[in-house]
């Protein structure tokens, strides 16, 4: 089997090429750092096996972040046996050739695939044969979207090309008293660290970079006629879009309008149709067949409530969730996310995050698990931990059904404002918590941010459709996997007595009795209902389960029936306006789902995973209690409670700072 | 003159990079931010701390931490 590695600068089209070669659907986007880990697929060409690997983008072999480290390690691991294809964006040739030169210095055989050549050739003229000769590397023009895998594409011709500047550098390195192996280490990945010669080495490293760029300029002068005023990534629209006021107003408007249209207009339209189809063509015929086959109440009720009721309630939200992902894909593909990162960097820096967090927050709107994983893109440890553990405050798509059902049940026409308010509350809590963490246990040491601006692009509708279908597929996988399996467990627990006998009355069930033991904890926030407590507990496994627990407990099939049941005092789970708001806030902010916790543990440590769980519960509890008390007992009582809580909180922060300060006095290394 | 003091859309030449963290300095140099090269501030953010700068035929976002370490002079 031959290994094929796709490497190159970020956002040059590596994943697009990977998708074309392997006919896959790897996530692509017009943003720096979309691919965060290596992704491989085996393909066959004329009975020969090729393992194509898409690697995260890297500017050079001097890895600066976790993804670049992954790519670099893979290149060094397979440099002697793999076909290395370097994808180069023709429009930013100078910057892209830097990595090529590094590979050439190490005599690693590779081929340059020149992508985006059509756009480049509108303004520039490149003599490819001459460039091939000067670089000593084969160059092939490709269109990453349309190329097909061939044997010829993966064949690498080996050239031997001496790079003239290397002789000078070697001379200088021996003047700096570096041994030969230290020099190779320096060229390889900058890892030569000879402490006594540190200053000389740093100077040498700088000289190597300058020598490489001088050589690139020399070969481009010989082979390229180019428009010197052309700036890749900027368009005439950018003057307008990046205007601070326009971007701020634009983003706020976009936020509210998209929630309104996606969730309440377009989504609701498809929602009804989908539920109608499911009930008439799937659940009803299957239930009718089941009635003919058996009269066992366990089996009938299990399918009616445990399976079809849960699926029908959740399935209705597929259009909204697909539209949410399509919207995020639109933002990513158009290049607007980088503009948002730039515009919001100021604000985020002041709370100890930086502009890159915008991408992570936006991805969190889709799935918290995925966005916690992307936090590894942050190149400072505390910054990475903060983004990973705070990101669950962003409301993910799985919480959307809970919000829409409860908001529709209690706030009618105002439900749009309630849902928007919840999204905003999540963001505000994230920013405040980031600020507190920055001032206490996780101060950001280096907030440096440099982010390349991708060009604004028209939206590719085919890609949108693919991403939309992918989100539907993933969501259906979840509801057929977790929801059905957990639905079975919830159904059994909610319809079985402690004597293991079937019961129609959920109040006699194991689930209700266990939950009722914990209910006293939730009385101060207005959730004195065992069914609600049960739904919050199972919500830790997956947030979609909150709604399916509602359906099972209230014996309601479909969204409309469930909405109606929530306001009835005879239902097991019934709320009033104040407790509904309290529940919405609590479910927004409390512990993230188990898969997100797993990622947080993997990316940070067990301590931060527990901090996320406990911190989430505390924050959710305090805010819900404050709002609930304001709505029921009046602002005066809630202010007194709020004052006492703040006092405890401030004392706690002071205590943490004091402990840390004492530690610092003893270690004498840091200023606190 | 520090980069954040530079006027908008006026081309300047990079004089030095006084960045404490050598890895960050090296990364900026690898992106093309090298002494003698030209740089242009395209936009400043709402609080004028984050800059949108153009160098090496591409556009980059640089935050205040970095912008204050880059010294430039007008051509």
Torsion angle in degrees (nearest 10) through CA of A436, A437, A441, A447 = -120
Give the model confidence (pLDDT) of A435-451 as tens digits.
999 988 888 887 788 88
B contacts of A98 (beta carbons < 8 Å): 30
Residue A557 has which token pair?
A: 């099939």
- Residue A637 has what pLDDT? 81
Residue A323 and residue A257: Cα distance in Å, rounded? Answer: 13
Predicted pLDDT at A213: 93
- For residue A208, the distance in angstroms to the closest alpha carbon of chain B comes to 10
DSSP for residue A200: H
Min distance B58 CA to chain A CA atoms (Å): 5
Residues of A in contact with B23 (CB under 8 A): 62, 64
Closest CA–CA distance from residue B25 to any residue of chain A (Å): 9
- Per-residue pLDDT band for B12 (boundaries 50, 70, 90) equals very high
State residue A672's pLDDT score: 39
Q: Give pLDDT, residue A600.
A: 92
Angstrom CA distances, A523 to A321, A329, A518, stand at 33, 41, 10
pLDDT single digits (tens) B39-53: 999 988 888 788 999
Task: Answer yes or no: do A448 and B22 touch at CB < 8 A.
Answer: no
The whole-number average pLDDT for the span B24-36 is 90
Contact A190/B at CB under 8 A: yes
Using a CB-CB cut-off of 8 Å, the residues of chain A touching B28 are 450
Closest partner residue to A94 among B21, B43, B56, by Cβ?
Answer: B56
Nearest to A342 among B57, B61, B66 (CB): B61
A244 touches chain B (CB under 8 A): yes
Spell out the residues 6+ positions from residue A283 whose beta carbon is closer than 8 angstroms to its own. A308, A311, A312, A557
C-alpha span between A223 and A62 (Å, rounded): 27
The C-alpha atoms of residue A616 and residue A612 are separated, in whole angstroms, by 6
Closest Cα of chain A to B61: distance in Å? 5
pLDDT at A62: 83
Give CA–CA dist B61/A338, Å, rounded.
9
Touching B: A residues 27-86, CB under 8 Å: 59-60, 62, 64
Residues of chain A with pLDDT under 70: 174-197, 479, 483, 660-672
Cα–Cα dist B13/B40, whole Å: 9
Is A248's CB within 8 Å of B46's CB?
Answer: yes
CA dihedral sign, ordered A526, A532, A534, A535: negative
What gap in Å lies between CA B20 and CA A387, rounded to an integer? 24
Do B52 and A342 lie within an 8 Å CB cutoff? Answer: yes
| Residue numbers in B near A12 (CB within 8 A) | none
Chain B: which residues have CB within 8 Å of chain A? Answer: 21-32, 34-35, 42-47, 49-50, 52, 54, 56-66
pLDDT digits (tens, 9 = 90+) for A547-559: 888 887 887 877 7
The helix or strand, by DSSP H or E, that contains position B11, with its residue range, turns out to be strand B11-17
Check residue A246 and give its pLDDT.
86
Total beta-carbon pairs less than 8 A apart between chain A and chain B? 127
> Is A346–B30 a contact, with Cβ atoms under 8 angstroms apart?
no
pLDDT at A329: 86
């Amino acid at each position: 089997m031959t290994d094929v590695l796709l490497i190159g600068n970020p956002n040059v089209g590596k994943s697009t090429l990977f998708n074309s070669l392997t006919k896959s659907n790897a996530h692509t986007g017009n943003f720096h750092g979309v691919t965060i880990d290596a992704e491989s697929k085996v393909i066959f060409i004329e009975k020969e096996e090729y393992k194509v690997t898409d690697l995260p983008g890297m500017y050079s072999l001097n890895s600066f972040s976790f993804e670049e480290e992954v790519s670099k390690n893979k290149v060094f691991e397979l440099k002697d046996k793999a076909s290395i294809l370097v994808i180069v964006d023709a429009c930013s040739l100078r910057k892209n050739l830097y990595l090529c030169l590094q590979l050439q210095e190490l005599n690693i055989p590779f081929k340059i695939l020149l992508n985006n050549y059509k756009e480049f050739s509108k303004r520039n003229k490149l003599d490819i044969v001459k460039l091939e000769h000067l670089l000593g590397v084969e160059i092939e023009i490709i269109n990453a979207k349309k190329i097909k895998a061939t044997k010829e594409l993966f064949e690498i011709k080996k050239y031997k090309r001496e790079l003239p500047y290397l002789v000078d550098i070697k001379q200088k390195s021996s003047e700096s008293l570096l041994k030969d192996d230290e020099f190779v280490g320096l060229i390889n990945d900058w890892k030569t660290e000879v402490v006594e010669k540190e200053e000389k080495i740093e100077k040498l490293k700088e000289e190597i970079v300058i020598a490489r760029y001088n050589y690139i300029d020399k070969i481009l002068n010989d082979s390229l006629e180019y428009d010197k005023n052309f700036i890749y990534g900027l368009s005439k629209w950018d003057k307008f879009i990046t205007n601070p006021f326009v971007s701020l107003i634009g983003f706020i408007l976009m936020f509210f309008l998209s929630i309104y249209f996606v969730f309440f207009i377009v989504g609701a339209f498809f929602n009804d149709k989908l539920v109608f189809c499911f009930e008439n063509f799937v659940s009803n015929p299957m239930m009718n067949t089941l009635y003919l086959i058996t009269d066992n109440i366990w089996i009938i009720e299990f399918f009616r409530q445990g399976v079809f009721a849960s699926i029908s309630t959740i399935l209705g939200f597929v259009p909204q969730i697909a539209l949410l992902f399509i919207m995020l894909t639109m933002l990513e593909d158009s290049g607007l996310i980088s503009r948002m990162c730039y515009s919001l960097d100021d604000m985020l820096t002041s709370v100890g995050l930086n502009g890159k967090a915008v991408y992570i927050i936006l991805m969190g709107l889709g799935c918290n698990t995925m966005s916690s994983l992307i936090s590894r893109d942050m190149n400072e440890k505390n910054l990475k931990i903060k983004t990973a553990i705070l990101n669950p405050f962003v409301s993910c798509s799985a919480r959307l059904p809970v919000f829409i059902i409860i908001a529709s049940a209690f706030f009618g026409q105002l439900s749009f404002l309630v849902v928007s308010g919840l999204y905003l509350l999540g963001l505000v809590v994230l920013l405040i918590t980031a600020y507190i963490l920055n001032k206490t246990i996780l101060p950001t040491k280096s907030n440096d941010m440099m982010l390349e601006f991708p060009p604004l692009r028209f939206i590719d509708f085919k890609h949108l459709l693919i991403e939309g279908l992918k989100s539907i597929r993933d969501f259906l996988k979840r509801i057929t996997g977790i929801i059905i399996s957990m639905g079975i467990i919830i159904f059994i627990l909610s319809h079985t007595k402690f004597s293991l006998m079937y019961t129609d009355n959920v109040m006699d069930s194991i689930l209700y009795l266990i939950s009722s033991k914990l209910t006293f904890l939730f009385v101060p926030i207005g959730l004195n209902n065992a069914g609600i407590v049960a739904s919050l507990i199972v919500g830790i496994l997956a947030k979609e389960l909150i709604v399916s627990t509602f359906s099972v407990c209230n014996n309601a099939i479909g969204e409309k029936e469930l909405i109606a049941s929530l306001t009835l005092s005879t239902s097991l789970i019934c709320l009033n306006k104040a407790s509904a708001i309290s529940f919405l806030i609590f479910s927004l902010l409390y512990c993230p789902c188990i898969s997100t916790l797993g990622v947080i543990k993997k990316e940070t440590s067990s301590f931060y995973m527990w901090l996320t769980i406990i911190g989430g519960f505390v924050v959710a509890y305090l805010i819900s209690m404050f709002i609930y008390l304001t709505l029921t007992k009046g602002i005066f009582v809630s202010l007194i409670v709020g004052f006492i809580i703040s006092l405890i909180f401030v004392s706690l922060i002071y205590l943490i700072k004091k402990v840390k300060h004492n530690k610092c006095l003893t270690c004498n290394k840091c200023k606190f | 003159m520090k980069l954040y003091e530079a006027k908008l859309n006026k081309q300047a030449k990079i004089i030095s990079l006084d960045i404490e963290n050598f890895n960050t300095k090296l990364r900026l140099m690898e992106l093309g931010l090298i002494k003698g090269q030209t740089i242009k501030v395209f936009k400043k953010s709402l609080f004028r701390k984050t800059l949108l700068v153009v160098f090496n035929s591409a556009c980059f976002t640089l935050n205040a931490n970095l912008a204050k370490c880059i010294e430039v002079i007008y051509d």
